[in-house]
Amino acid sequence: MAKNTKARHDDLRKRLIDLAEKTVEAEGLSALRARDLANKAGCSVGAIYNVLTDMNTLTLHVNGRTFKRLGIAVAASIADKADLPPRDRLIALSLAYLDFANNNFKAWTALFDIEMTAGPDVPEWYQNALNELFRHINGPVREIYPEMGKIDSDLMTRGLFSSIHGIVLLGLQRRISGVPQEEMARMITLILSNLSK
């Protein structure tokens, strides 16, 4: 029965993450409540804590899935575009990022709404997921700036990602007036098109 318990635990854990993912996608991270979740899963509140250490780690699991989907969507955007000029590949990547954030707004928001006060460092899988995104950007960057040293081209890569992220973030949160949805794509294109050299 030790084996049996583990199987039941694994099963419950998976169901909880599935349900949490649906909730986050539909209503956002703030709608993820322990009692509601237990209710939907047909278990007690306590059962959640038999299987997951925290509500926070549950969110981490959901975010892990979101990051995976994000990575796939971004990679797909340049899968058949290897022959395009590097600037156009950067634009394609960025628009895919915008598109994903827009179509999965609440799940995408949850990626950055989570607490990360524990220590100076972020979970490893989070770093890995970001590094995966960086890899895609780094190729075009090195093509555009072949003379640039590795340190600077890495900085440029992270800087470009952060820039696009900032545009998408402030735009989708409607924190900046006069940036309707359809203009965000143009904003991204404008900035990336004007990268010199």
Partner DNA sequence: CCCTCTCAGTGAACGGTGTTCAGAATGTAA
Partner DNA sequence: TTACATTCTGAACACCGTTCACTGAGAGGG
Q: Residues interacting with DNA, by CB under 7 A?
A: 1-2, 4-5, 8-9, 32-35, 43-47, 49-50, 54-56
Report the residue from 83, 121, 147, 182 that binds a copy of itself according to the rule CB under 8 A.
Answer: 121
- What DSSP letter does each residue of 151-184 carry, written as one string? HHHHHHHHHHHHHHHHHHHHHHTT-STT--HHHH
- Give the span between the Cα atoms of 11 and 18, in whole angstroms: 11
Smallest gap from residue 130 Cβ to DNA (A):
25
Q: For the chain, report the end-to-end CA distance as a whole number of angstroms.
A: 66
- Give the span between the Cα atoms of 182 and 123, in whole angstroms: 34
Determine contact, residues 35/45, Cβ cutoff 8 Å: yes
Q: Which does 181 bind (CB under 5 to 8 A by kind): DNA, a copy of itself, none?
A: none
Tell whether residue 150 is a contact of a copy of itself (CB under 8 A): no
Tell whether residue 147 is a contact of a copy of itself (CB under 8 A): no
Report the residue from 40, 88, 126, 142 that binds a copy of itself according to the rule CB under 8 A.
Answer: 126
Smallest gap from residue 44 Cβ to DNA (A):
3
Determine contact, residues 92/81, Cβ cutoff 8 Å: yes
Report the residue from 130, 132, 139, 142 that binds a copy of itself according to the rule CB under 8 A.
Answer: 130
Alpha carbon 28 to its chain's center: 14
DSSP 8-state secondary structure symbol assigned to residue 40: H
Tell whether residue 152 is a contact of a copy of itself (CB under 8 A): yes
> Which residues of this chain interact with a copy of itself, rule CB under 8 A?
112, 116, 120-122, 126-127, 130-131, 145, 152, 154-156, 158-167, 169-171, 173-179, 183, 186-188, 190-191, 194-197
